[in-house]
Structure formats: structure tokens, C-alpha cells
């Protein structure tokens, strides 16, 4: 395909619950960049914060922004013309202490697609650095390529959990990242995986993708039920991926003494609270997830070799001109992952 027009369609969030599509100029390609025709964009929980709250954490919407940081596309023009790619949405500086120490995800000046002043992938074209475009094997679809980003976050969370073979695991929140983490934990040798999730269709998905037990919230709040599900002593590693105080509370309850609890959910009000004495008595280690570190090559290998099934979490697809409908469905948690296909 050759670009034969100067304009494209882009979807922008103008305020809480306000998504509009616009005709805009196709971006100009800078030095070291490629023009990417976007083919699939996943709507993430953080996108839903921008949609529902016009912000996320301590960042607020300062202008209409193009959301979307889970995306794939095809390079248009240049020596890589026609190559199908997954797009790494994070562009760290590469010079600061965090970058030099190997923590690219903690770069304080990182450019991140669809966040703040930087437009994301919910448009037909974008210009992006060539080094951040990862070639997709033939067996991976465009939607699979978009799902590599949430898989990368799941892998990073798993790394932070220091999971050992034979360990027991609890996952609190069975959204897309939680479901990918269930699969990855099983591949890492977890012998017991318990999921806590309020929505029945997501509990069913968790069982289908490798969980041994899937509890609703009321059952998880009963100490006897959680203890029975985990075999008595509690989980060796717990992954919280819901972003609510209740999810954190349940995570602390599920953890055995001395366990690691990885907090990956993003709270709506930018504050998280929990009973300190309960965590202190168990001597828990709490770790927070900041996106992901260098994960795309590993994620691609896992999917290419059939070790992780990313297509299993995609339940809804929409064209770009129905982006507002796509956000409404994603915000309603009606399925698993909503993908927009520009």
C-alpha cells in the first residue's frame, strides 16, 4: 500500500466521556523515524482512566489527546516498507541514571504514546522511531501485535514477583493483564494459581487460561475459602491488577508470611490505602509496577512459540469511526479486550 492522501482520521479524548474523530494531517517523518499505518489498537485500563476521568494519577488532560499505547501497524515507505510491526509506546531518554542502570521504564522524561502531551496510536498513521518498531513474525496477527504491550506489562509484574518454580500464586483482578499473567505464571512453573475477580465471564476466562480456582469477591473475603483455595498457608506471590483498595486488601489476605505482593492496578483517585498492621505482621514485601522494561523481544518469542495465547483475550473489535462505542464497551467491562482497527 502506498499513501496517496495528506489526511487521516484520528480519535481524540476531549474530556471525561468525550471521544471524537477528526480529519487531520498525516504526520511528517523525522530523522530516524518511520511512518506507520496503524492496524490494531487495544484499549487499556489506563486509556479508560483518561476516558472516564480526563486524567490518570496526577496527570490531567491539558488538550485533546489521541489515546492508545497498545498497537501494531505496517511501515509505509523507506527500506522497511511493508514490514508488519508492534510499536513500543515508551521512548526513554537513554541518558539518565535510570536508563543507564537498565530501568528504562523509570525514565523521568520518557515519552509515552497517548499520555499527556504525546499522541498515541488511535489514528490511521503516526511517525515513530525505527528502533521502537519490532518486526512481527508471520504467525502473529495485527491484534496479536497490539497485545504484546499488555503481555510485556504482565511479564514485568511477574519478574517483580520473583516467582519460583513450584510456587503458589494469587491474581486479584482478571482483566487482560491478569489473564496474561495467569498464563505466564503457569509457564513459569506455578503449581497453584488462584484468581479473584468479580465478573463471572472473566472468572470463566481465568479458568480456561490456566487458573486452578477463580473466586468472586464475596468468597475471597471469607478467610476459610481463600485459605482452602491456596492450600492453607497463602500464596508465595500475589499480583494485584484491579486498582482498588479492596483488591489490595484481598491481596494482603491472600499472601503467606514473607511473600511478595505486586501492585499493578492504577487507582482512580491516585491513592491506595490498606491495613498496615496486617501487612506488617506478615512481613510482606510490596512492589509497584511501572509499565514494563525491555520486554518486546521476549513477548514476541513467547507468542510465536505458542507459550502464551494473546488472541484469547480479544473479544471485541471496532473500526476507528466507532471509537466512542469501543470506549463505552471497554468501560463497561462487557468482555475482555476491546481492539480498534483503523
Half-sphere exposure of 51 (CA within 13 A, CB side): 21
pLDDT in tens, 225-254: 888 888 878 999 999 999 899 999 999 999
- Residues 82, 29 contacting (CB under 8 angstroms): no
Q: Identify whether the C-beta of residue 262 lies closer than 8 Å to the C-beta of residue 240.
A: yes
The C-alpha atoms of residue 318 and residue 11 are separated, in whole angstroms, by: 13
Predicted confidence at residue 4, as pLDDT, reads 64
- Which residue ranges of the chain lie beneath pLDDT 70? 1-4
Q: What is the pLDDT of residue 222?
A: 84
Rg (CA), the chain: 20
Cell of 127: 511517525
Classify the C-alpha dihedral 152-76-126-109 as positive or negative: positive
User: Which residues are registered as beta bridge partners of 318?
Assistant: 340
Question: Which of 41, 301, 33, 15 shows the shortest CA–CA distance to 146?
Answer: 41
The distance of Cα 9 from the centroid of its chain, to the nearest Å, equals: 25
Which helix (H) or strand (E) segment holds residue 328: the answer is: helix 323-331
Distance separating alpha carbons of residues 247 and 235, to the nearest angstrom: 15
List phi, psi (to 5°) of 50. Answer: -60, -40
Entry pTM: 0.94
d(CA 182, CA 172): 11
At residue 118, the pLDDT reads: 92
Amino acid at each position: 500500500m502506498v499513501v496517496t492522501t495528506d489526511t487521516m482520521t484520528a480519535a481524540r479524548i476531549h474530556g471525561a466521556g468525550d471521544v471524537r474523530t477528526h480529519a487531520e494531517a498525516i504526520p511528517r517523518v523525522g530523522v530516524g523515524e518511520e511512518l506507520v499505518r496503524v492496524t490494531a489498537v487495544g484499549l487499556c485500563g489506563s486509556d479508560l482512566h483518561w476516558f472516564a476521568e480526563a486524567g490518570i494519577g496526577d496527570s490531567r488532560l491539558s488538550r485533546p489527546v489521541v489515546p492508545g499505547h497498545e498497537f501494531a501497524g505496517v511501515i509505509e515507505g523507506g527500506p522497511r516498507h511493508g514490514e508488519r510491526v508492534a510499536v513500543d509506546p515508551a521512548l526513554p531518554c537513554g541518558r539518565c541514571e535510570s536508563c543507564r542502570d537498565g530501568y528504562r521504564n523509570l525514565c523521568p522524561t520518557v515519552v509515552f504514546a497517548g499520555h499527556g502531551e504525546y499522541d498515541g496510536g488511535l489514528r490511521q498513521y503516526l511517525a515513530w522511531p525505527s528502533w521502537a518498531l519490532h518486526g512481527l513474525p508471520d504467525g502473529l496477527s495485527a491484534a496479536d501485535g497490539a497485545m504484546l504491550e499488555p503481555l510485556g506489562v504482565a511479564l514485568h509484574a511477574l519478574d517483580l514477583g520473583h516467582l519460583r518454580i513450584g510456587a503458589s500464586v494469587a491474581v486479584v483482578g482478571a482483566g487482560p493483564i491478569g489473564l496474561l499473567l495467569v498464563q505466564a505464571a503457569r509457564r513459569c512453573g506455578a503449581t497453584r494459581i488462584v484468581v479473584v475477580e468479580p465478573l463471572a465471564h472473566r472468572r470463566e476466562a481465568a479458568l480456561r487460561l490456566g487458573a486452578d480456582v477463580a473466586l468472586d469477591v464475596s468468597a475471597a473475603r471469607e478467610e476459610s475459602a481463600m485459605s482452602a483455595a491456596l492450600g492453607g498457608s497463602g500464596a508465595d506471590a500475589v499480583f494485584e491488577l484491579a486498582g482498588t483498595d479492596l483488591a489490595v486488601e484481598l491481596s494482603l489476605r491472600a499472601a503467606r508470611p514473607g511473600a511478595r505482593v505486586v501492585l499493578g492496578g492504577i487507582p482512580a483517585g491516585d491513592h491506595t490505602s490498606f491495613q498496615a498492621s496486617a501487612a506488617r505482621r506478615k512481613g510482606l514485601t510490596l512492589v509497584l509496577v511501572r509499565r514494563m522494561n525491555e520486554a518486546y523481544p521476549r513477548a514476541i518469542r513467547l507468542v510465536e512459540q505458542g507459550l502464551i495465547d494473546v488472541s484469547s483475550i480479544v473479544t471485541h473489535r471496532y473500526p476507528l469511526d466507532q471509537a466512542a462505542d469501543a470506549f463505552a464497551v471497554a468501560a463497561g467491562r462487557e468482555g475482555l479486550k476491546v481492539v480498534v482497527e483503523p
